[in-house]
């Protein structure tokens, strides 16, 4: 039997410099884009909170997924013009709403379908948090890469 020689084994595409560069550039771009999208979503949610009308809504659906991003629930409510609407909100693991429970919904009087559930998160928070995390990872990658380039350059200068 012939011994295994790892020098002849094909390398995975993950080690290819072009693939690594594409991944780094994607992370660098996606983080700030998600920050902007999440911030605009949060700004849109602030308008009903500042000048909206309050009503009582009923929790009609609760999603209890394995990940925190799937912890959300749907609330149905009636606006001032007696039209029925629904809104999704996120919940923290320790604040799971009960099916059929009542919550306060704040909706825009100009557009009753634009609403938020008082005291619960909105998808904009999740998007902003993910964008912030990716941006921090991007900055750390840049610092690590820059220090690696600087050390390599210093070694080459010393070798000359």
Model pTM greater than 0.75? no
User: Given this model, what pLDDT does residue 85 score?
Assistant: 92
* Domains contained in the chain, CATH given: 52-122 (2.40.50)
Return d(Cα 138, Cα 132) in angstroms, integer: 10
Residue 90's nearest CA partner among 52, 116, 53 is: 116
Per-position pLDDT tens, the chain of length 160:
555 555 665 677 777 888 888 888 888 889 889 999 988 887 777 767 777 888 899 999 888 776 656 678 899 999 887 889 998 888 776 778 889 989 988 888 888 888 888 877 777 777 888 899 988 888 888 888 788 888 878 887 887 6
User: Given this model, what pLDDT does residue 5 score?
Assistant: 57
Task: List, in order, residues 6 or more apart from 105 with CB less than 8 Å away.
Answer: 54, 55, 56, 57, 75, 77, 87, 115, 116, 117, 118
Tell me if residue 124 falls in helix, strand or coil: helix
User: Given this model, what pLDDT does residue 76 score?
Assistant: 94
């Amino acid at each position: 039997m012939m011994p295994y020689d790892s020098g002849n084994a094909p390398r995975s595409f993950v080690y290819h410099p072009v693939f690594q560069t594409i991944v780094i550039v994607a992370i660098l771009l996606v983080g700030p884009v998600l920050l902007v999208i999440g911030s605009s979503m949060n700004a849109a949610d602030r308008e009903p909170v500042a000048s909206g009308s309050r009503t009582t809504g009923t929790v009609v659906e609760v999603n209890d997924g394995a990940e925190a991003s799937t912890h959300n629930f749907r609330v149905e409510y009636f606006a001032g013009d007696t039209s029925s609407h629904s809104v999704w909100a996120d919940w923290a693991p320790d604040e799971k709403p009960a099916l059929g429970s009542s919550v306060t919904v704040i909706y825009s009087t100009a557009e009753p379908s634009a609403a938020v559930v008082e005291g619960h998160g909105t998808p904009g928070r999740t998007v902003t948090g993910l964008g912030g995390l990716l941006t921090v990872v991007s900055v750390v990658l840049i610092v690590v890469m820059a220090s690696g380039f600087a050390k390599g350059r210093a070694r080459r200068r010393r070798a000359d």
